[in-house]
Structure 1
């Protein structure tokens, strides 16, 4: 691919240079298996000396792990920018954000969630597990359950399970073409609403109690008190 490298040779601040290298690594690891990408390839793509990759990331594997982390971890800003509306509005916006991101970086995201070329690597598994925990926290904030302490581990488990559904469903759309974006959005939004409005209240209420005893701040019909919006 013919690319004008002159702009990339300009002097950049360390954070900008690191980000530039990471962006190129995301693109290359998304396009080719791990074993087929070298640090020389990444350096050439980024227009930097190979030594800078070692300086900022250490090893090729460390850089690869950072690529996976960036692709699968929900950034705090994503939750901060959700609209301050009712539950349905925030769920709809959350699902739309997720689908926007995975479609915009579909090749790299698919490579990250499947960790192509690395097999059952413990370090990759750790990064993916950490991302699951971040995603669980982010979803709990988005749907107004961040401050619910009763049955906390069960709630986190439900959201982690939902995250697995989100990943699998997005792959059905992006990788297999079995679903459209609209169908994926409907499935994920409806499921998350059902979890928050029906499953969570039943779990928090406990056996033999009415599920109407829902967590503080969450109202039936899709909403949260205005002062409870994150």
Structure 2
């Protein structure tokens, strides 16, 4: 038996006693699972899911292939678990903000969204990588769930009730722009984050302006927003 600082390891026959093997880390079930998911998100965020193998995830996490199968059963189950983890973290940021004008609350919510984008880049990229064409079944439900939460949050922040078809299409178009802007920012990071957030808020106002020409209810909503003192500040300050 060869002993080091804090551990003892058996000596393999023929192995010098002065070079003990490092002891395997003992992690709780939850902690090991989190490590595997974190490794999977890094890989799924950088590459298409079909190009990531269980061996890739095991290697990145410093675990065995058998352990990944033990926790998740297979690559699809791991993929779904990783995306669900990212979605839950993002949804936890999408909380209603109180105390400001509608556009101030919208800007605050967008800031929390981009906090997640910046702090969990791999998770955000994995969640949205590939586009709607590749979103089916359980994976599609996870992504759509995040979009629905953001949609209802925006409705609340704009003080809108049941959206008309025009308003619904407008808000969904804006959410798609936010997602695309987030992915673009992660790829290039050549615009200051605060500037990008202000651009997206101004885009919302511009989209509502177009929709107002086709829907009296949106026109009333826009008039209420533009009546706020801070609603039309310039995007670049």
Q: State the TM-score bracket (shorter-chain normalisation).
A: 0.5 to 0.7
Counting matched residue pairs gives 206
1:95, CA displacement in angstroms? 1.8
CA contact (8 A) 2:96 2:109 kept: no
Task: Evaluate the alpha carbon distance shift between residue 11 and residue 195 of structure 1 in structure 2; reply closer, same or farther with a 3 A threshold.
Answer: same
C-alpha displacement of 1:163: 0.9
Query: Quick one: which of 119, 122, 138 aligns to 2:136?
Result: 122
1:79 equivalenced with 2:100 (yes/no): no
Distance across 2 between alignment mates of 1:8 and 1:166: 43
SS in 2 for 1:80: coil
Alignment partner for residue 146 of structure 2, among 131, 154, 157? 131
Contact 1:74 1:131 in 2 (8 A): no
Q: Which runs of 5+ in 2 are unaligned?
A: 1-21, 231-237
Distance in 2 (alpha carbons) for counterparts of 1:71 and 1:45: 18
Of 82-91 and 18-27, more deviation after overlay is shown by 82-91
Deviation at 1:121, TM superposition (A): 5.7
- Structure number with greater Rg is 2
Q: Specify which of 174, 182, 185 is matched with residue 173 of structure 1.
A: 185
The alignment's TM-score, normalised by the length of structure 2, stands at 0.64
- Residue 165 of structure 2 corresponds to residue 158 of structure 1: no
> How far apart are 1:27 and its partner, in Å?
1.5
Task: Kindly state the Cα deviation for residue 199 of structure 1 after the two structures are TM-superposed.
Answer: 4.8
Higher RCO by CA contacts (8 Å cutoff, separation 6 or greater): 1
The one-character-per-residue Cα deviations of 1:19-65 (angstroms, maximum 9, x if unpaired) are: 33211211222234434432233234334454443344332122223
Residues 174, 204 of structure 2: 8 Å contact kept: yes
Return the offset for 1:197: 8.6
In the other structure, the counterpart of 2:228 is 221
Q: Does 1:27 align with 2:48?
A: no
Q: CA deviation at 1:90?
A: 1.4
Change (3 A) 1:86 1:52: farther
CA RMSD of aligned residues (A): 4.0
1:90 aligns with 2:102: no
> Given that residues 9 and 47 in structure 1 are in contact (C-alpha distance below 8 angstroms), is that contact kept between their aligned partners in structure 2?
no
**CA deviation after TM superposition for structure 1 residue 171, in Å:** 3.4
| TM-score, structure 1 normalization | 0.66
